[in-house]
Chain A
Amino acid sequence: MSIANIETKHEGGHHGFGVDEHGHFHHAHHFKDAHHQYESSKQGIWLFMVTEILMFGGLFVAYAIYKSLYAPIFHVGSSFLDVKWGSVNTVILITSSFTMALGIYYNQTNQFQKAVVSLALTILCALGFMGIKYIEYSHKIHDGLLPGKFFTNKEFPKKLSEYIKKMEPEDLSPQMKEIASNPKRLEKAAPLYFGFYFAMTGLHGLHVVIGACLIFWVMVKTHRRRFSSEYYTPVEGVGIFWHIVDLIWIYLFPLLYLVG
C-alpha cells in the first residue's frame, strides 16, 4: 500500500461532537462528514438491536420448548393472567411508539417544543406500563403465583388436574403424562409457567425502565437544543431501541396472555 498526501480537514474539536450552543453541528474528527457519522451510528445501533433480539430469542426458544412439552401447565397458567391489563399495556406501548416517532420527527424538523412534549408523553406511557405491571405483579404476589419455591397458590394445581382429566391421553406429551401421573410432581411442576412469566416480563420490564431513562436523557438534550435537522442520531437510536422493546412485547402478550 502506498500513501499519497491528502490534507484532511479537522472539523470540530477532539472533545466531543454534536450541536453546539450556536446550533452548529460538528461531526467527530475520525469521520469524513456528518453523513458518514450518521450512517455509521445507525449501523452500530442496528447491530446492537440484533443482539437484544437474540437474547430475548433465547428465552422465546426455551418457552416454546417447554410449552410444547407441558401444554396444559401453560394453558392453565395463562388463565391466571388478566387479559384486560395485558391489552391495556399493549395499547399503551403502541401509543408510546407513535409518540416516540413524533419525538424524532419534531427534532428532524427543528420543532423542539413539540419534540419535548412528544418525548414526555412517551415517558408517561412507559410509567403507565410499569404502573400496570406493578398492579399485576402485586396481585400475583398476593395470590402466591410466584416462580419455583415461592409458589403457594392452591387453586392452580386443582385447575390443572381438572384440565388434564378433560384432555385426550394422546394429546399429552410423554413428559406431561409422567408428571401428571404423580400428584407430588404435578404440584412441583405447576410453577414452571410462572418462572417463564416473571423471567420474560421481568427482563422486558427492565428494558422498559432503561428505555424510559434513555428517552428522558434525549428529552433533556432536546430541550437544550442539542439536536437539529443536522443531527438527531441519538433520538433516532433511542427510538429504534424503544420500537424493539415494543415489538418484543407484541410477541410476549399473545404468548403469555392469550394461550389460555
Chain B
Amino acid sequence: MFTLTQAEQIQDAGEKNYLIHEKGLWSWLTTVDHKRIAIMYMIAVLTFFLIGGIFALLIRLELFTPGQTIVSPDTYNKFMTFHGAIMVFMVIIPAIPAIFGNFVLPIMLGAKDVAFPRLNLASWYIFMIGAILAASTLFLGGVDTGWTFYTPYSISTSTNVVLTVLGAFTMGMASILTGLNFVVTIHKLRAPGQTMSRIPLFVWAIYATSIIQILATPVLGITLLLIAAERILGVGIFDPTLGGDPVLFQHFFWFYSHPAVYIMVLPAMGIISELITTFSRKTIFGYTAIAYSSFAIAGVSFIVWGHHMYVSGQSEFAGKLFSVLTMLVGVPTAIKLFNWIATMYKGSIRLDAPMLYAIGFMFLFTIGGLTGIFLASLGMDVHFHDTYFVVAHFHYVMVGGTLMAFTGGLLYWFPKMFGKMTSDTLGRISWVFVFTGFNVTFFPQFILGAMGMPRRYYDYLPEYTSLNQISTVGSWLIGLGFVIVLIAIIKAFISGEKASANPWGGKTLEWKTASPPHYENFETTPVVTEGPYEYR
C-alpha cells in the first residue's frame, strides 16, 4: 500500500456502513440506497449469467459432433434462443450500468444517492418481473425464434413468443428508468467544484449509455408489442400473407438493437479507463477525446442499423449508406484504444488481477473491433453474414470486451463494496482460464465462418468437426475460469483480508470513502478542486 496523507486517512464507517446500517431481509427489499440496490442487481444478474452460461455449455456440447449429440434440433434451437435472450437482456445490457453504475456513480460524483432513489428500487422490481416473465418460458416449453425474433417465423412458431417479448418489454422499461435516473443524477447531483470536465470517464461512459437507453429502448418496446399484437390479433403488419412486410420488422428491431450493443460496450470502456489509470498510476491520456468519443459512438450508433441487413432485401443504396456510416464508428473506438495504450506509456504498471482483465479486454476487443470492419464492408459481409464469423465477432466484443471489463470492475470495486480483499492469486488464475479459454472457443469460429459454416446450425458438414471440437473444449475452460472467480468471491466473503479505503491507489472519489462506505456515502460532502486522474 502507499502512504496515505493525513488528509486522506479515512475512518472506518463502523455501524454506519451501508451493509449493516439497517438489518433484515425486509430492509433490503424496501431499500432506496443505491448501493444496496446495486447488490440486489448483482445477485440477480450473476444468477442469470450462470443460467445463460449453462445454456452456452449445452450448445457447445451438442456441437461437439455433427448430427445429434445430446438433444434434438428443436431443443437445440430453444437452447440457442435462451442463451442469446438471457445473455443479451438479462446480463450484458443491465450488468455494468445497474451494478457498478448504481454503486459507484453517485459516489464518484460526491452525491448521497441517485436523483430518484425510489424510482431506482422500482426499476429493480420491474427488471425482476420482466426477468421472471421471460424465464418462465423455460418451464412452459421454451422459445425457439433466436433472440432476434425475426418475422414471419416468430409469428407462426407455436412456442411461447408472447411471454418472452412481454418479459423483454418489461426489462426494457427498467432499462429506460435507470438511464433516466443516471442522466438527472449526472446533471443535478455533482458535488461542489465538480464540473463536467472533472467527472471520471466511467461517469461519461454511463452518461452516453443512458442517453442511448432512453432514446432507443422505446422503439424496441413498440416493436415487441407489435409482435405480440401480430400473434394474438393477426394485425398484419409483419405477416406477408396479410399484406405485411417481414423486413420492416428487421428495421424496427435493429433500430434499437444496434444502439443496444453500445449500451453493452460503452460502460465496459468506462471501466477500462478507470482500471488503466489506476494500475498505471498515471493520468489518463486524452480525457476530452475519450469523453467525447463515447458520445460520438452513441450518436453514430443510431444511424448504422442497416449493416445487419445488407442481404435482407434492403436497397443497395441503403446498404452503401449504412456501410460508410458503420466505418465511421470504428474511428472513435480506435481513439479510445490508442489513448489507453498511451496512458500506459511511462506509467508505473502493476498487473493486479483487475489490470490483467483490463489488458485482456484490450487484446480481445481489438480483435473484435477489427473484425467488425470486415463485417462493415459490403463486399465482405455478403459472404460472412449469418456465418460463424459474425458469431465470433460479437463474442469477441461482448465477452472478450464487456464481460472482461465487468470482471475487472468486479475485482476492482469488490473491496469498496464489501470491505474485503479478494485473493489476487485466484484472480490471476481465473484470468488465465478465461482468457485462454475464450480464444480457444472463439478464434476457430472465425475460420469456420470463412469456410462457410452458417450460424444457428444444429448440424454441420463433417469437415467442420475438428474446429467445432476445439471450440467446445474452449468453452469448458471459460466455464472453469468463471467458477474460479466465483470461488474467489466466496472465499473473500468468508476469510478475505480487511480492505482499506484505497487499496489500489485510485484517485476518484469512491476511494475517499470507507470500505464499505457509510450509508450516505460521505460523512461530509466533498468539494472538488481538481480533475479525476491527477497522478503527479
Q: Within the assembled complex, what's the spacing in Å between the Cα atoms of A195 and B184? A: 38
A48 / chain B contacts, CB cutoff of 8 Å: 176-177, 180
Report the minimal beta-carbon distance from B520 to chain A, rounded to whole angstroms. 8
Report the minimal beta-carbon distance from B427 to chain A, rounded to whole angstroms. 27
| Cβ–Cβ contact B529 & A1, under 8 A | yes
A189 / chain B contacts, CB cutoff of 8 Å: 236, 242-243
Question: In this assembly, does A181 line the interface, its C-beta being within 8 Å of a C-beta of chain B?
Answer: no
| Cβ–Cβ contact B237 & A62, under 8 A | yes
Q: Contacts A3-B524, A36-B188, A179-B243 given; indicate if A191 touches B236 (C-beta within 8 A).
A: yes
Question: In this assembly, does A134 line the interface, its C-beta being within 8 Å of a C-beta of chain B?
Answer: no
Question: In this assembly, does A198 line the interface, its C-beta being within 8 Å of a C-beta of chain B?
Answer: yes
Q: Within the assembled complex, what's the spacing in Å between the Cα atoms of A44 and B221? A: 19
Across the two chains, which residue of chain A brings its CB closest to B507?
Answer: A1
A199 / chain B contacts, CB cutoff of 8 Å: 225-226, 229, 235
Across the two chains, which residue of chain B brings its CB closest to A66?
Answer: B237
Question: In this assembly, does A26 line the interface, its C-beta being within 8 Å of a C-beta of chain B?
Answer: no
Binds A, one of B109-117, B285-293, B313-321: B109-117
Question: In this assembly, does B248 line the interface, its C-beta being within 8 Å of a C-beta of chain A?
Answer: yes
| Cβ–Cβ contact A1 & B528, under 8 A | yes
Within 8 A of B (CB), among A99-136: none
| Cβ–Cβ contact B243 & A185, under 8 A | yes
Of the candidates A1, A8, A50, A57, which one forms a contact with B524 in the assembled complex, judged by CB atoms under 8 Å apart? A8
| Cβ–Cβ contact B115 & A195, under 8 A | no
B528 / chain A contacts, CB cutoff of 8 Å: 1-2
| Cβ–Cβ contact B233 & A1, under 8 A | no
Of the candidates B183, B234, B252, which one forms a contact with A62 in the assembled complex, judged by CB atoms under 8 Å apart? B252
| Cβ–Cβ contact A30 & B214, under 8 A | no
Question: In this assembly, does B454 line the interface, its C-beta being within 8 Å of a C-beta of chain A?
Answer: no
Across the two chains, which residue of chain A brings its CB closest to B223?
Answer: A58
| Cβ–Cβ contact B233 & A147, under 8 A | yes
Across the two chains, which residue of chain A brings its CB closest to B179?
Answer: A47
Q: Contacts A55-B221, A58-B223, A188-B241 given; indicate if A195 touches B236 (C-beta within 8 A).
A: yes
B223 / chain A contacts, CB cutoff of 8 Å: 58
Q: Contacts A1-B529, A29-B112, A191-B242 given; indicate if A6 touches B235 (C-beta within 8 A).
A: no
| Cβ–Cβ contact B222 & A55, under 8 A | yes
Report the minimal beta-carbon distance from A48 to chain B, rounded to whole angstroms. 6
| Cβ–Cβ contact A2 & B530, under 8 A | yes
Within 8 A of B (CB), among A45-100: 47-48, 50-52, 54-59, 62, 65-66, 70, 73
B507 / chain A contacts, CB cutoff of 8 Å: 1
Of the candidates A31, A51, A148, which one forms a contact with B236 in the assembled complex, judged by CB atoms under 8 Å apart? A148
| Cβ–Cβ contact B117 & A30, under 8 A | yes
Query: A-facing mask of B12-45, CB < 8 A → 1, else 0?
Result: 0000000000000000000000000000000000
Question: In this assembly, does B181 line the interface, its C-beta being within 8 Å of a C-beta of chain A?
Answer: yes
| Cβ–Cβ contact A198 & B529, under 8 A | no
Of the candidates A8, A30, A56, A148, which one forms a contact with B242 in the assembled complex, judged by CB atoms under 8 Å apart? A148
| Cβ–Cβ contact B529 & A2, under 8 A | yes
Report the minimal beta-carbon distance from B417 to chain A, rounded to whole angstroms. 20
When A and B form their complex, which 8 residue pairs have the shortest distance between CB atoms, in order from nearest? A148-B234, A195-B235, A189-B243, A55-B218, A58-B222, A30-B112, A149-B234, A54-B218
Interface residues of A (CB under 8 A from B): 1-8, 28-31, 36, 39-41, 43-44, 47-48, 50-52, 54-59, 62, 65-66, 70, 73, 146-150, 179, 185, 188-189, 191-192, 195-196, 198-199, 203
